[in-house]
Chains A and B, each alone.
Chain A
Amino acid sequence: MSFAALVATPWLEREGAKIARGLRRHDPDTLDHLIEVYQHRLLRYLVYLTGNREFAEDLFQETWMRVLERGNQYNGKSRFDTWLFAIARHLVIDASRKKSCLSLEALTNPAEESNVATMEFASAEPTPFEHSHMREESERVDSALSHLDAVQREVVMLRFQEEMSLDEIAEVTGAPLSTVKSRLYRGLEALRPRLEMTGKAVNA
């Protein structure tokens, strides 16, 4: 174990225990703080999963309501973000079943992965925070990622944007490690020509 990990692990455990205590008590300050800290990451994950900003925003609220209701299920030993994302994921699955959104069915049924249609991937609405260059980049990757299956897009995002380990991704998605890996390989494989194409177009 590296020195950084040696220092970070007890800190994460303490932090996790503190969050778990706050959630058990339904402490509003803990919840306010968590919403503040995870707002952008959670929304981004939901947008990546659903491909729709408006739908993602509805689920954002529902995710926090569920965190509040089920707070006593968080044990404080694992990372809070993996638990949060797993809750959000379940909500996406439930909500997309209600909306009979076929492509997200594959999030629960890996056997259907090969039949999954790619989704319309709406990029985030511009906000005052966004710079024009960043927006261009965003559109480029959104369009590249939009051609991936929801399950592949999810693991690529969790691995390379959220910097989660493969084990943590397995925890969020509830899929075995081998499945996570194969989704990642296939996602990158599918992403390669898109990124090359857009890369050339931008450089031209």
Chain B
Amino acid sequence: MSPKNIRMDCDRALDLLIARGLEQSEHDSEFLQSHVASCPSCTEQSQTINRAVNDMRSSVTYANPAMVRATQMRVRARAAELRAQQETMRPLWISSALALGWAVVSMPLLWQGFSWLGHATHMPELVWQTGFGIMALAPITAVGTIGLASKFHNKATS
């Protein structure tokens, strides 16, 4: 085998070695086994990985139960705050959805109403159309403003 081919085999073996424990095809496993058996460099690499794996698995770091409990308590307290915030935001979301729904449904009627009023009172078009715009956007603007205000309030209090 040429040195280039040997190098390629070693590269492939190394790729398979660092993926140990993960899913490998039967073909790859057979190649790895036979290559490692005949290549001193890859044997050494394999041994290093085995040693590292064994050493790491036998190394022990346990979390201190008191620290874990303290974390759980802190997380619970903050979760309760966030849930309370979510609860206060819920009516706002509902009213936003309603306002949006109402705006969509009432838009054509509102347009017709303003158009009729504009023509009946001989108002300039720009005036009644601006009036329509303000009326159409009023509920959404109001809800949006309240929403933003409560969001800032929540951020400030958290």
Contact = CB atoms under 8 A, between A and B. Distances in A.
A107 interface: no
Given A35-B68, A39-B63, A60-B63, A141 B55 contact: yes
Contacts, number: 129
A26 B61 contact: no
Interface of B is mostly: helix
Contact of A156 (B52, B64, B76): B52
Contact of A43 (B15, B63, B75, B83): B63
Interface string A55-92: 00100110011001100000000000000000000000
A159 B150 CA distance: 45
Contact of A188 (B19, B49, B56): B49
Contacts of B23: 2, 5
Most A-side CB within 10 Å, residue of B15, B51, B63, B71: B63
Interface of A: 2, 5, 25-28, 31-32, 35-36, 39-40, 42-44, 47, 57, 60-61, 64-65, 68-69, 124-125, 127, 129-130, 134-135, 137-138, 140-142, 144-145, 156-157, 159-161, 163, 165-166, 181, 184-185, 188, 191-192, 195-196, 199
Interface of B: 14-15, 18-19, 21-23, 44-45, 48-49, 51-53, 55-64, 67-68, 70-72, 74-76, 78-80, 82-83, 86
17 contacts: A28-B76, A28-B79, A31-B72, A39-B63, A43-B62, A60-B63, A61-B71, A64-B75, A65-B78, A125-B64, A134-B58, A137-B55, A141-B59, A181-B15, A181-B18, A185-B14, A196-B48
